[in-house]
Structure 1
Amino acid sequence: MEGVHYTVELKGNNIDLTEDGVAHAEIILGTDDLWDENDPWARFVMNALKAKVFYRRDVQYIVRNGKAIIINELTGRVEPKRRWSDGIHQAVEAKEGLKIHVIIG
């Protein structure tokens, strides 16, 4: 919940978890340390929040044939061969209830 579990800085496209947000995530995920370097949970949580807050359907992407397709913000054209990196594309797919495509390599 924005303002309780996380804060958003639109100017810098930044999201920060609050102490309550960290505690809530740790309870839900069943972990004692969300920021443990050996667990991917922190990155997954942050990517999910970024997908929720900053990536808007029909603005940054469209959903077509069960896939999230990036819209080029300069041209307005869809770019079906492009994918966001660092797990953002998978977070958008999860947000939309799509099959999550993992690119290896």
Structure 2
Amino acid sequence: MLRLRFAPSPTGFLHIGSARTFIFNWLYARRHGGTMILRIDDTDVARNTEESLASIFDGLNWLGLGWDEQYRQSERLHIHREMAQAIFARRLAYRDFTPASGDEGDKTHAGG
């Protein structure tokens, strides 16, 4: 089954570009009998605001299109951890223990 999602982050207000993306995804889901998912990407705890979240819901409700399923990404982290552990257990992935640094240019261990 076809599943499309719109995943705004509540770190700012809903804007016209985001609304357009929601509309396109909604239209595609409806045209092809799919499911439209609203996934709130609220994992950036330091920058999330209730005002931004309210703006997202107000704007989407104003469009009057609705969605079929709704999730908050912060409430689903355990699912991602479980899936990651399963992938590691099957040796289909590996952990990168390279210390995090703010320098994105230093990717000496990145191969291709």
Higher CA-based Rg: 2
Higher strand share: 1
TM-score of the pair, normalised by structure 1: 0.24
Higher relative contact order (CA 8 A, sep 6+): 2
Higher helix share: 2
TM-score of the pair, normalised by structure 2: 0.23
